[in-house]
Structure 1
Amino acid sequence: MIFAFLTVFFILLADQSLKYWILTNFDLYEQKEALSGVFSWFYIQNKGAGWGILDGKIPFLVVISLLVSGYLLYLIIRNRHQKPLVQLAYGLLLGGALGNLIDRLRIGYVVDMFKLEFINFPIFNIADLALALGIILLLLIVLFDNDVEELL
């Protein structure tokens, strides 16, 4: 269980620190090259969810985020004796959910900043990345680990 909470802590620290840096060093829609041909910094305000769905539905997204975060907390506690990879997956998911929830509650939108240069993909942040990695990891565990008890 401690591994999951440490993961949440480090995701939140990295996510909120980078978002603070973006907010204090970039103008809205400002872009700066980071790694040529790979990604650039591009500050946008996301007032919806992934891929711009539910744009402007912040109260609804806050409620959903609170419910999902509560359920993930329950899963972390219930599965506290599971393998470290399971705890890592739950920690990534909870850290990502809380990272974007904090933005919605604090400033009314989510700060996004990573723009991939080699593919047309939505601009995202560390919390989004943590959510995606957590989902992928949990799916791989469910598909390939026969020793894992019921996780959800």
Structure 2
Amino acid sequence: MLFYSIILVTTAIDQLSKYWIRSVMTVGESMPFYKDIISFTYYQNSGAAGSSLQGWAPILGVLAILIVAGIWWYRKKGGFPGPLKQSAAAFLVGGAIGNGIERLLFGKVTDFIVFHSGGGIMNLADLAINLGVVLYMVDMLWAQRGKWKGNRKNPQIS
């Protein structure tokens, strides 16, 4: 249930935030959000991260469908055991669905979150995908924790 709840909430919040930005701003318009750290600037990206692959939105939308299908298939086969991996996979799927919807319907993605420390411009689906990757890495590091402790207790002398 956690898996599907995260997907639903992530996709809904992403789509609502993009709808709101398109409703209250014009392309290129900016507004401050949090001090000098984050602002909102409405941008339409017909490509991928960092504005690469401009014009490839339909192909990237199909790729999102394939990624979502692959994650669902892998999960059905018993992949992603444990709540951390389930959450990581769900954030990846929710983010892929959020951006995939826009790519397939509009041929572009609404980006609006600007991190002034140099993070580029993104949206909540992008943040969800990044969170999914971070959670998966945390889970991998957590799984290795026991091996690291074991190596400290029995160091091998060369």
The normalised TM-score by structure 1 is 0.89
Distance 1:125 1:30 in 2: 15
Identical amino acids, percent of aligned pairs: 31
Say if 2:69 is the partner of 1:70.
Answer: yes
Q: Name the residue aligned to 1:28.
A: 27
Letter in 1 for 2:30: Q
Gaps of 5+ in 2: 146-158
Report the counterpart of residue 144 of structure 1 in structure 2.
Answer: 142
In the alignment, what sits opposite 2:55?
56
Corresponding residue SS for 2:69: helix
- Residues 95-135 of structure 1 show CA distances to partners (whole Å, capped at 9, x for unaligned) of 00000000111211000110112x12210000000001101
**TM-superposition CA deviations, 1:59-113 (whole Å, max 9, x none):** 2212211111111111332337821111100100000000000011121100011
Residues 39-75 of structure 1: per-residue CA shift (max 9 Å, x gap): 0111000110111111111222122111111111113
Distance (Å, rounded) in 1 between the aligned partners of 2:33 and 2:9: 22
Larger radius of gyration: 2
Q: Does 2:36 match 1:37?
A: yes
Contact 1:4 1:91 in 2 (8 A): yes
CA distance in 1, matches of 2:70, 2:20: 30
TM-score between both structures, scaled by the size of structure 2: 0.86
**What is the Cα deviation at residue 139 of structure 1?**
1.7
- Which residue among 101, 121, 124 is the counterpart of 2:122? 124
Asked whether 1:95 is paired with 2:113, we answer no
Residue segments in structure 1 that go unaligned for 5+ positions in a row: 148-152
Inter-partner Cα distance in structure 2 for 1:129 and 1:80? 23
CA RMSD of superposed structures (Å): 1.6
